[in-house]
Amino acid sequence: MRNNIHNRFYISVPADFNFWRTVYSHGWSSLKPFSVDKENQSLDRLLELNNNKLMYARINSSNSGKLRVDCQTKQTLNESEKEELVRQIKNCLRMGENFQEFYTIVKKDKEFSWVYDLKAGRLLRSPTVFEDIVKLICTTNCSWSLTEVMVNNLTTKLGKKFLLNEGAGISKELFSFPTPRAIASVDEKYLRSEIRAGYRAPYLLELAKRVESGEINLESWKNDQLSTGELFKMATSIKGVGPYAAGNLLKLLGHYDHLAIDSWCRTKYFEMHKAGRKVSDRSIEKFYSSYGKWRGLFFWMDVTKAWYKQKFPF
DNA sequence: GCGTCCAGGTCTACC
DNA sequence: GGTAGACCTGGACGC
């Protein structure tokens, strides 16, 4: 077996950044190609550079406060490739986003000051907007376990393979998230039978083809100049993306003025604020309206509050 | 073992 | 613009 090239480097983090609370900010860390190694307390993932080189990264929070990144590649990385790797990691962990205004509000609010104390609030995202949208479509109208099945199938059946050296001659197969081209290259029948995407199959196929053809440039959606309204309209123009998926996508793009209420959040809200009694979505919207453009993030932090009492909430 | 319900919703037809 | 019904899948639950 050919040995991989090992590299270790460190990334400085913002003062208000908490690595572990970002990893466990929502369910993305348990969807492939992300994985959490609880023993090593690391976020692991196979990344793909723009030039298609694959790279395994194990990310830990080091004693110095910096992130420690241990990576494995097949070929030596040049400086620009290392820079791209760092950019991808910072992008996933939302390290370039300014949360000063959000923290100024939460630290004055007795119900939410814990968010400031824990430096919580950053929501883990994928390296590409395409991956986030595919995963969001896979969360709709199904159990979380089925979402895991669909994403796992997409990754292992349509992603690129990488052999990770685990030492003592042992290796493990890892897969990257499939590119738009890889998904566009199969048909609806395959997505139904092999990926188990069900009625979502035509949605995934259409999205992949639109991205692959250049009809839509999803990465441009990270542009700060786009308003929430514009982004919401663009997101819901994608088949399979309704108010819930669009609202959550906007949060991953740094816009927090949609609550993105789903059945899980509804139930949590009813338990926490209404002793289990059901109320309308409009009533939930009203409850968080005073938090203005940050209300979607306040809502999410509120319904996931219990997660922050544990090192490994799931 | 089998049937039913529903889960981290969305689309389309119809009014 | 609002609403009902259909849509894949698979786990949980009751019988």
Q: What pLDDT digit, counting tens, does each position of A237-263 carry? A: 999 999 999 999 999 999 999 999 999
Distance A141 CA to C6 C1' (A): 13
Contact A136, A36 (CB under 8 A): no
Q: Quick check: A261 and A242 in contact, CB under 8 A?
A: no
Pairing of strands A161-167, A67-73: unpaired
* Nucleic strand C under 7 Å from the C-beta of A192: yes
Whole-number Å distance between alpha carbons of A118 and A311: 12
CA of residue A301 relative to chain centroid, distance: 16
- For the CA of A26 and the C1' of C15, the distance in angstroms is 37
Q: Which nucleotides of B are covered by protein (CB under 7 A)?
A: 6-12
C-alpha distance from residue A206 to each of A111, A188, A263, A288 (Å): 43, 10, 26, 35
Q: Which residues contact A115 (CB under 8 A, 6 or more apart)?
A: A103, A106, A121, A301
The pLDDT of residue A1 is 55
What is the predicted pLDDT for the residue at A310?
A: 87
Separation between Cα atoms, residue A106 and residue A134, nearest integer Å: 32
Strand C atom within 7 Å of A234 CB? no
Amino acid A263 CA to nucleotide C15 C1' distance, rounded Å? 28
User: Which CA-bearing residue is nearest the C1' of C10?
Assistant: A146
pLDDT at A20: 96
Q: Is the CB of A193 under 7 A from strand C?
A: yes
**H/E stretch holding A203:** helix A201-212
- pLDDT for res A194: 95
Residue A239 CA, nucleotide B13 C1', distance (Å): 17
pLDDT at A277: 86
Q: Strand C closer than 7 Å to the CB of A146?
A: yes
Question: What is the pLDDT at residue A33?
Answer: 97
pLDDT score of A237:
95
Rounded, the Å distance between the CA of A243 and C1' of B11 is 12
End-to-end CA distance of chain A: 35
Task: Give the distance, in angstroms, between residue A82 CA and nucleotide C10 C1'.
Answer: 42
> Which DSSP helix (H) or strand (E) runs through A161?
strand A161-167
Task: Enumerate residue ranges in chain A where pLDDT < 50.
Answer: none
